[in-house]
Structure formats: structure tokens, C-alpha cells
Amino acid sequence: MKQTLVLKVNPNKPSIKKVKVAADIIRKGGLVAFPTETVYGLGADAMNPDAVLALFKAKNRPLDNPPIVHIENMNTVYELTEHVPPKAELLMRQFWPGPLTLIFKRSKRVPEITVAGLETVAIRMPQHTVALALIKESGCAIAAPSANLAGKPSPTSAKHVLADLGGRIDAILDGGSTRIGVESTVLDLSVDPPQVLRPGGTPVEALRKVLGDVRLHPFVVAEEEVPIEKARSPGMRHRHYAPNAKVILVEGALHAVIAKIKELTDLYRLKGVKVGVLATDETIANYEADVVKSLGSRFNLEAIAQNLFTLLREFDDEGVAIIIAESVPSEGLGLAVMNRLRKASGYNILKVV
């Protein structure tokens, strides 16, 4: 166990002194959690193999699942990659800094462990003053997966990070809650048309406006477990976003979803099981369970994305054994929300009509 240093900062105007303390830790090979606009990341110097190994260990992350490399200056992309296609440059101009991760053919300078032995590297420029200041002050490209224990919901506040990683990492820059709440969109430009490997904070509709045709990797919309040999993004292979409670996701027409959730709730409660329902503002009044929480309004998918991981963790804090979740429309940020809910349920999905 180490002592995790908590550095509280103003998210818009962080104390440069505290950022320097954190940057120094990164430069010396240590681990620092920091806020981005999506979720908190756990950062290490991307070019230091020992630091990156420590990063995997702190998270209990399988070594075959590479982190995203975070940068604060466009030029760094050219140092980390072999080739930057024109479409990537277009997207970098349009969407960076922001919640879009691009996959490039990597330079040999990037250590093997940072890319889990792949020939490609995932890069993004986060849109958060604290993250950008940390990268700049450290002078390092920062490898940063989400700052949760592997398999758990991603952290959207410093409290979540400390619950998972307190005592396992050197420091955290606490800049309050994150704005977007789901991770960045991961886009693969090595195929034509480009393919979304993970839906996230940049809606696929926005990518299509710039690129025209953009496809979803079949597993983005998968409704069952992914066969290992077909997963192009290593992250597709691993169990994700799972609270301790078992999750059941109910999909279909809204009235049928409500009826099914009520039926299941009654059934489980009769058996003495503590049940949580993940509802929305428009539907919450229908449910009587041990714990009922609303993700937000169905007409505000941004709010729903922002609340998702926090609520999953809250259900665990309240000790429910089962979470029964409504589905939301798969448009805009809703696609990322549905992808996370499906994974959180371990593809325990009930379709109703």
C-alpha cells in the first residue's frame, strides 16, 4: 500500500504548483489519476515501459489491452506514429481536443507494452484544462486507461477513483466530476470505410458529417459475447463496466419495457432479493423497488451518459443484488450508453415487444 496524494484543483484554472507536483511524479515513472472531459484516466509516461507495466498492475488490467496515449500538442502524433492519413488530420482539426480516439500505425519508438504488442497506437487529445496542463508540464505523452479497477464502471469523480485505486497509485488530481461521463469514441481509420470500435463521447452522427460513410464494428452493437478471434479492439474481449450486482437489461417498446421491469421486480422481491431499477425521469413513477434511480430525461441523452457510471456505482453502495435497467434510444450519446449497459449486463438482455 502506498499513500495516494490527493491534489484538489479548480477544473478550469488548476493551481500550477499542484500540477507540477503531479507532472514530476509522471516524469519519475509514477502513476497519477487525472480528470478528462470523459472519465478519469490513470496516467503514466507512455514511453517508460516500467511505468506502463505498473499502470497495468495497479488496475489489474490484462496486458493484452492497451491504453490510450494522451497528448496536448498535435505534433506529438507525428512522433508516435508511422503514418498520419489525411482523414485523420481532418478529424484531428475538427474534433481535438475532444472525446475522439484515433488508431494509427505506430512508430517503433513507442514501447511494446504501451501498445500491448500491436502494430497500432490509440491517441487522443483530451478537452480538459487539468489533463492538458498535466501532459504539458510533464513533457510526456501520457498513457492513460480509465482510472478504475479492470472490469468496473469507469470513474467520473475522484471519489470513484479512490474507491478503486486508493493506496495503489501515487496521486490524483481531483478536478470534480467529469462532463461527458462515458469514454471517448474509438475510431479505426485503417479500414475503409472507417469503423467505430467503441462508441463514446463523439457521436457517430458527427463523424459521418465529416467523413461520410462510417461503420460501426459489429461488436459495437453486439447483443451477445464477442468471440475472441473476431475482436479488433482488445477492449472488446474483456468484461467491462460491471457493478457487483447482476444487471438485467430490458429492451423494446417503452410500455412493454416498463411492464416487464415491474413484473421482474415483483418476482425478485417475492424471493427476498434486493432489487434496484435504473429508470428515466419519464418512467420512474411506475416502479416500486428497493432502490429506484433515474438516469435523467429520455430527451437528454447527454445527461443520461453523464449519470450512467455514477448510478451503477451507487447501486453497489446500496447493496442491491440485481439491477434491472431500461434501455434508451441508440442515437447520439445513447449508442455509447446502450453499449455500456449491454456489457455491464454481461449480455443479459431481455427483448420485449
Residue nearest to ligand TXA (CB): 235
Residue 68 touching ligand TXA (CB under 6 A): yes
Q: Give the strand pairing for 81-83 and 100-106.
A: antiparallel
DSSP letters of 157-185? SHHHHHHHHTTTSSEEEE--S-SS-S--E
Select 18 or 198, whichever has its Cβ closest to ligand TXA. 198
**Which of the stretches 64-72, 139-147, 174-182, 260-268 binds Mg ion when contact is defined by CB under 5 A?**
139-147
- Amino acid of residue 82: E
Least gap, CB of 60 to Mg ion (angstroms): 12
Angle of helix 301-317 versus helix 334-344 axis, rounded to 10: 20
The beta-strand segments (E) located in 235-274 are: 246-252
Burial class for 1, CB neighbours closer than 10 Å (0-12, 13-18, 19+): exposed
Residues recorded for the chain: 353
With CB under 5 to 8 Å by kind, the binding choice for 121 among ligand TXA, Mg ion, none is ligand TXA
Q: Pick the closest to residue 262 from 293, 284, 280 (CA basis).
A: 284
Grid coordinates given for 160? 470513484
Least gap, CB of 93 to ligand TXA (angstroms): 19
Least gap, CB of 168 to Mg ion (angstroms): 16
Select 28 or 239, whichever has its Cβ closest to Mg ion. 239
Mask: binding to ligand TXA, 181-220, rule CB under 6 A, as x and -?
--xx-x----------xx----------------------
With CB under 5 to 8 Å by kind, the binding choice for 67 among Mg ion, ligand TXA, none is ligand TXA
Residue 185 touching Mg ion (CB under 5 A): no
Q: Binding Mg ion by CB under 5 A: which of 138, 146, 178, 294?
A: 146
With CB under 5 to 8 Å by kind, the binding choice for 38 among ligand TXA, Mg ion, none is ligand TXA
Do residues 338 and 257 touch, judged by C-beta distance below 8 A?
no
**Which of the stretches 142-150, 195-203, 268-276, 283-291 binds Mg ion when contact is defined by CB under 5 A?**
142-150
Residue 145 touching ligand TXA (CB under 6 A): yes
With CB under 5 to 8 Å by kind, the binding choice for 185 among ligand TXA, Mg ion, none is none
Q: Binding ligand TXA by CB under 6 A: which of 234, 243, 332, 334?
A: 234
Mask: binding to ligand TXA, 98-137, rule CB under 6 A, as x and -?
-x-x-x-----------x--x-xxx---x-----------
Q: Could you tell me the sign of the dihedral formed by the alpha carbons of 232, 235, 239, 242, in that order?
A: negative
Do residues 214 and 208 touch, judged by C-beta distance below 8 A?
yes
For residue 212, the number of C-alpha atoms closer than 13 Å in the C-beta half-sphere is: 3
DSSP letters of 292-340? EEE---TT-HHHHHHHHHHHHHHHHHTT-SEEEEE---SSTTHHHHHHH
For residue 61, the number of C-alpha atoms closer than 13 Å in the C-beta half-sphere is: 28
Other beta carbons within 10 angstroms of residue 141's beta carbon come to 24
Residue 242 touching ligand TXA (CB under 6 A): no
3-state helix, strand, coil in the chain (%, to 5): 35, 20, 45
Select 233 or 265, whichever has its Cβ closest to ligand TXA. 233
With CB under 5 to 8 Å by kind, the binding choice for 155 among Mg ion, ligand TXA, none is none
Residue 38 touching ligand TXA (CB under 6 A): yes
Residue 65 touching ligand TXA (CB under 6 A): yes
With CB under 5 to 8 Å by kind, the binding choice for 66 among Mg ion, ligand TXA, none is ligand TXA
Which residue ranges make up the site for ligand TXA (CB under 6 A)?
36, 38-39, 41, 65-68, 99, 101, 103, 115, 118, 120-122, 126, 144-146, 183-184, 186, 197-198, 233-235
Which residue ranges make up the site for Mg ion (CB under 5 A)?
146
